[in-house]
Amino acid sequence: MLNDRVLEMLVCPGCKSDLKSGKEFQCLNSECGLQFPIVGDVPVLINEKNSLFTIEDFTAMRDTTYHSNAPNWKKRLKKLVPSISKNYKTQSNLENFADCLRAKTDVPKILILGGAVEGQGMEIASLFAGMETIESDVALVGRTELICDAHDIPFRAETFDGVIAQAVLEHVVDPVRCVAEFHRVLKSGGLVYAETPFMQQVHLGRFDFTRFTHLGHRRLFRRFAEIGSGAVCGSGMALAWSYLYFLQSFCKTKTAARAMSVFAGLTAFWLKYLDYFTIDRAGSFDAASGYYFLGEKSPETLSDRELINGYKGLI
């Protein structure tokens, strides 16, 4: 549950006016007047005009117990199948992110988007000890403290010292708008950290929209000064994913696709370990499974001419 200090930072996601809290949140702008429910202690601050989701999507879950319906034996079996994915950079990147924040302020405030599930390398309790973190998502599960859509972040301008979006921007319909929102809610000199896929097939089904090259990802954050960027998951993982999805392209049912997933895990898991040797090489800027960007909010905008001069690949 969000504490009172955080609640005071919230605004209407539709018009950015103040909110009155109680059993629900009420926008104090009479021309707006939107109302937002609280479901299981989690505020649902969705601007339905700009979102794929409706408030009813979450109020319908009000009396639901949030847990996986998969039987325990399936969960244990899944853990026995080797993963074809490995993230080599997140932990060290976020350690750098945290160190930079500590150098700027005593108690940094961090907004984590897509925070329902703790991703690889996102050991939040240890990485951000002594900091204020808010974990938001559009899924009312797991670690979610606030339901919000990154297209309309329901916080005042210049609220946060840091914003994190790991594996988020491929799942939004307008990543440019979302990054503009990151910029808005960050304080002057605030930091953003994002990881977004490049050589990955569709995941999360119909909620998967966009991929970025390294330079495409950099342009997305053109209003930020770069601290670091590069491959976060390499070409070996990209090859393993391609192998899996090639096998699944022969499947006609979800059961067959799951069986292929097990087979691919057992036969191709080792490919991800090749990234240990290649992750920092120039070729990874052209062929990585995904990229990261760490940057500082800037009053300057990177020009496209400067952008292309920043190409680091081999081709």
Which domains does the chain show, CATH number per domain? Answer: 82-308 (3.40.50.150)
Burial class (CB in 10 A: 0-12, 13-18, 19+), 254: exposed
Alpha-carbon dihedral sign for residues 162, 120, 149, 2: negative
**For residue 211, how many other CB atoms are within 10 A of its CB?**
18
* Six token digits for residue 285: 């800027």
In eight-state DSSP terms, residue 217 is: H
Per-block mean pLDDT, blocks of 10 residues, the chain (315 long): 83 96 93 93 94 92 52 70 95 96 96 85 84 93 92 97 97 98 98 98 95 98 98 98 98 96 97 97 97 97 97 93
According to the model, what pLDDT value does residue 71 have?
Answer: 64
Nearest CA among 238, 95, 84, 86 for reference residue 164: 95
- Pairwise CA distance, residues 165 & 232, whole Å: 14
According to the model, what pLDDT value does residue 304 have?
Answer: 98
Residue whose tokens read 């297209």? 151
According to the model, what pLDDT value does residue 178 have?
Answer: 98
According to the model, what pLDDT value does residue 267 have?
Answer: 98
